[in-house]
Chains A and B, each alone.
Chain A
Amino acid sequence: MSAGTLTETMRLLADQELIALARRVREHCLRMTAGGGCFIGAALSSVDLLVHLYSRVLDVAPDRLDDPQRDYLLLSKGHDVPALYGTLAELGYFEVERLREHLGPASDLYWHPSRAVAGVEFHSGSLGHLLAVGIGIALDIRLRGGKNRVFVLLGDGELDEGSIWEACLVAAAQRLDNLVAVVDRNGRQANLRTEELVPLEPLPAKFEAFGWACRTVDGHSFPELDDAFALLPAAAGRPTAVVARTLRGKGVPSLEDRGDRWFASFTPVEVEALVAELHGAGPAALASEGRVVR
């Protein structure tokens, strides 16, 4: 067996571990749809991105949350927070049992990220904010001569916000090559497909025209994500955008690519059926309606 093949075999094994981790995170997300619900479609869309970033890309750890040299991840789309909480819990930032407190009376786990939860760098919920906040963090890192990086996870619907594009101009003007925007490009915003409401394509060309280097990848493929994040910045002196093509509801066919399963609240029986579906059973029987919250 050649060294190259061995490396490839190890990578496949490691990918299998990441796939298993992502499946556990998806199960956490599904369980958060009980007792009031969550933005399940958005969360399942970004699970693979968050699992990959926290496992293989970000230089951060549960015992280094105050380390000024750490890499930052800012969850700008916000409503996919079950994916972040599931990932952080699985990786030891807080107890997995705490996920059961979701929407509890004294819980910090609600529909959008709270800084009271270990590992959450900044709160969000109002779209179009954290690319600007990320610019401030990246500017300070550069002022201090740091090598760490700032990753901002954006939703594609969020790109309707003008503040994203002014921040894109400013990041390029400031030549922030320690800033990486990752777009969860699932093609859907709250109710509609992005291209039906406010078309975003050609999206990579837009980032490039704004002075960014841009890569487009399959946001559910760990090998492709490895390549996308392997060499950063993608171009010296420029911020990097990674447009990750994803699927709303990814991993649970009954929820995939559906306009009415962005936010959903399911009964305990439905949740168990969805978890079974995640693990390979047939389609879950769902009577609960997706709730329109916006």
Chain B
Amino acid sequence: MSAAATYEQSLLALAAQRDDVVVMTAENRAHLRNLPEALGPRFIDVGICEQTLVGAAAGLALRGRTPIVHALASFLTQRAFEFIRTDVGVARLPVKLVGFVPGLLSEANGPTHQAIDDVALMRTIPGMQVFCPADLDELRQALPAIVASRAPAYLRYTAAPPAVEHTERFAIGRAEVLASDEGVSILCYGPLLREAERARQLLDARGVPVRLVNLRTLEPVDEEAIVDAVRPAELVVTLEDHYHRGGLHTILAEICLAHRLAPRVLAIDLGASFFRPALLPEVLEREGFTGGRLAERILDALCEPEAKA
């Protein structure tokens, strides 16, 4: 069974349980192939127009529907931003935006398709929940809770195989702590969790204790889990396929300021640049996001004098 099919199954199960669920798209059908037939008029494809997609979703939500709006993450969050902010955000309507191929997952498409500012954009909208599951299992576990919430939401889609063996059931605003040693605390979200876990194993073999936190929800974020990860850590690592500004590193900075914490932080992200388009393994290697490269970067940071970190 393909990953896409199981995502479809989740949507179908939700639609069967809840009359309010409708699935919409701007002709991004790659992972929705069977839904037009299965959902009939509750599958709405408006064609390639993200603004109308989001505006119409707001209208459906005004009538009591919960639209799940599946479109390319870049065009959904960038081109339709003002419709999201003004129609969904101002009215706080329960529209569930699902961004397809976010972060590094746009692979070889190039800068036009790179949603690497989506977390920053969506976080600016008051009341908007932001979800970044690490793999398809986590996404499928999260969907019912996301749909049940009456808040607007943005979800970074992934169909990745399990990144780790998950230890905690999904709950909105709750991080999953996968290892809780004191030394290096790695905070991350999305499919990069898989690489973070590899890095943790490599560091463990070198005798470096690691706490690994899979945030899952970036808004509302699990502040307690972050503070618990920061307090005992010699080094805090933020790992994300996002610009440096506006994502997890910014969230960490906000929380540290609020709690008067000043940890040593290694930010591993895309800085202020687009990534060079390529297939995912190549991108991970080149951007230094493989488990091996992550472990090296963390060891380097630990060896550097504190002032330079």
Q: Is the CB of B44 within 8 A of A139?
A: yes
Contact A140-B86, Cβ < 8 Å, known A122-B91, A132-B55, A167-B55:
no
Q: How many residues of A contact B (CB 8 A)?
A: 30
Contacts of B250-276 to chain A: CB distance below 8 A: none
Q: Which of A133-186 contact B (CB under 8 A)?
A: 133-143, 162-163, 166-167, 169-170, 173-174
Contact status A136-B83, CB under 8 Å: no
Measured CA separation A162–B52 after assembly (Å): 10
Interface segment out of the listed B58-66, B138-146, B206-214: B58-66
A215 interface hit (Cβ, 8 Å): no
Chain A's closest residue to B86 (CB) is A126
Chain B hits for A280, CB < 8 A: none
Instruction: Tell me how far the C-beta of B39 lies from the nearest C-beta in chain A, rounded to whole angstroms.
Output: 11
- Chain A: CB-nearest residue to B59: A136
Whether a CB of chain B sits under 8 angstroms from the CB of A52 is no
- CA A139 – CA B43 in complex, angstroms? 11
B47 engages A140 (CB within 8 Å) = no
Shortest beta-carbon distance from A18 to chain B in Å: 29
Q: With both chains docked as a complex, state the minimum distance between the C-beta of B35 and any C-beta of chain A, in angstroms.
A: 15
User: Given A115-B91, A132-B54, A136-B63, do A166 and B49 touch, yes or no (CB 8 Å)?
Assistant: yes
**Chain A residues, Cβ within 8 Å of B61:** 136
How many Å lie between the Cα of A137 and that of B60 in the bound state?
Answer: 5
Please tell me if the beta carbons of B55 and A143 are within 8 angstroms of each other in the complex: no
A170 B60 Cβ-Cβ under 8 A = no
Q: For the complex, is B106 an interface residue (Cβ under 8 Å from A)? A: no
Give A121 to B54 CA distance when docked, in angstroms: 17
Complex Cα spacing A131 to B67, Å: 18
Tell which of A129, A143, A167, A169 touches B87, judged by Cβ atoms closer than 8 Å. A129
Inter-chain contact count A-B, CB under 8 Å?
91
* Interface bits B14-49 vs A (CB < 8 Å: 1, else 0): 000000001000000000000000000110101101
Contact of A135 among B41, B52, B82, B83 (CB under 8 A): B52
B56 at the interface (CB under 8 A from A): yes
> Does A104 lie at the interface of the complex (its beta carbon under 8 Å from any beta carbon of B)?
no
Check if A123 is an interface residue, CB within 8 A of chain B.
yes
Q: Which residues of B contact A283 (CB under 8 A)?
A: none
Q: Which chain B residues lie closer than 8 Å to A36 at the CB level? A: none
Which one of B46, B51, B65 contacts A140 once the chains associate, using CB atoms below 8 Å? B65
Q: A126-B86, A129-B87, A170-B52 are in contact. Are A135 and B63 (CB under 8 A)?
A: no
Tell whether A139 pairs with B91 under 8 Å between CB atoms, given A169-B47, A170-B49.
no
A68 within 8 A of B: yes
A139 touches B59 (CB 8 A): yes
- Find out whether the CB atom of A129 lies under 8 angstroms from the CB atom of B63: no
Whether A133 contacts B58 by the Cβ 8 Å rule is: yes
Q: What's the minimum C-beta distance from A172 to chain B, rounded to whole angstroms?
A: 11
Interface flag for B90 (CB, 8 Å):
yes
Closest to A167 in B: B52
Complex CA gap A174/B51 in Å reads 16
Residue of B nearest to A68 (CB): B63
Q: B57 in the interface, Cβ–Cβ < 8 Å?
A: yes
- Whether A132 contacts B51 by the Cβ 8 Å rule is yes
- Does A135 lie within 8 Å of B55, measured CB to CB? yes
Complex interface bits, B57-94 against A, C-beta within 8 A gives 1, otherwise 0: 11111111101000000000000001100110011000
Smallest CB separation, B280 vs chain A (Å): 32
Q: Is the CB of B52 within 8 A of A166?
A: yes
Residues of chain B contacted by A139 (CB below 8 angstroms): 44, 56, 59-60
CB pair B82–A169 under 8 Å, yes or no, is no
The answer to whether A140 touches B63 (Cβ under 8 A) is yes
Q: List 29 contacting pairs A-B, 8 Å CB cutoff, sorted by A.
A: A121-B62, A122-B87, A126-B86, A129-B55, A131-B55, A132-B52, A132-B55, A132-B87, A133-B55, A133-B58, A133-B62, A135-B46, A136-B57, A136-B60, A136-B61, A136-B67, A137-B60, A137-B62, A139-B56, A139-B60, A140-B60, A140-B65, A141-B63, A142-B41, A166-B49, A167-B49, A167-B55, A170-B49, A174-B44
8 nearest CB pairs, A to B: A136-B59, A132-B55, A140-B63, A136-B56, A166-B49, A136-B60, A133-B59, A137-B59
